[in-house]
Amino acid sequence: MTLRYLTANLAQQIDEELMGAAGAFSLDQLMELAGLACAQTLATVYPRERYSRVLVGCGPGNQGGDGLVAARHLAMFGYKPTVYLPKLGSKEIYKRLHSQCQNMDIATINTEDDLRRRLEESDVVLDAIFGFSFQPPIRSPFDTALKLITDSKLPIVSVDIPSGWNVEEGNKDHVALRPDVLISLTAPKEGVRGFKGRHFLGGRFVTKEMERKYQLNLPEYPGFAQIVELPSGVSQKEKL
């Protein structure tokens, strides 16, 4: 059966049910599993022997929380991550995740100049800036950050939805990141149907009951892996 792609409303509904009686997960659990899947994806495509220096861009929401978890796991995998955090999230969980990174001696930068310099010293970017709840326009300082990341020509791994993309219509404004790798969480979103790069599914936490209820038709995860690779779609040029 065909894998289901989620609208913004359906993705939000599933998230709420995962943390409600149907799933009984805490936000901490979901972020930990999602961030681990993101770190595994980057490590699968970009081995640390050649791509050890990772710039992890984190927004102030839950997407950024996933990025902070991923940065911590990447450090444990032997990578050398740096967190770009122009705006610290206000939730207590976000502050704790950031403290965990600091306890792992992971550097945090927050200025445009620091970002420009660190991009010159990095091998790959993990994009966890905007999530599926993003609404345009892209505001400062994130508009400049996305341009600097794009101009760096570094390979990009995006979390769930590439930053700046509309969750249902994709990169319709042509101002967003165009990643080489995408890690969809729970299930892929409508806006990435035409994504051509390597596409992975992660977040091995969806209950069997929920999968049946929403007819997600998720693929089997291999062994103990937290990710599974999906077929690529049409080229981004064709889609644009």
Q: Which residues are annotated as a binding site for (6S)-NADPHX?
A: 62-66, 131-137, 160
Backbone angles phi, psi at 161, to 5 degrees: -145, 130
Please state the residue numbers annotated as binding site: 62-66, 127, 131-137, 160, 163
Please state the residue numbers annotated as binding site for K(+): 63, 127, 163
Q: Whole-angstrom Cα distance, residue 208 to residue 227?
A: 17
Q: Whole-angstrom Cα distance, residue 203 to residue 38?
A: 9
Q: Whole-angstrom Cα distance, residue 154 to residue 179?
A: 9
Look at residue 57 and give its three-state secondary structure: strand
Q: Whole-angstrom Cα distance, residue 185 to residue 85?
A: 22
Question: In sequence order, which residues have a C-beta less than 8 Å from that of residue 230 and are 6 or more positions away?
Answer: 3, 184, 188, 199, 200, 201, 219
Q: Whole-angstrom Cα distance, residue 165 to residue 228?
A: 23
Q: Whole-angstrom Cα distance, residue 163 to residue 135?
A: 11
Task: Assess contact for 156 and 177: CB atoms under 8 A.
Answer: yes
The amino acid at 145? A
Q: Residue 229's beta-bridge partner residues?
A: 200
Q: Whole-angstrom Cα distance, residue 36 to residue 125?
A: 16
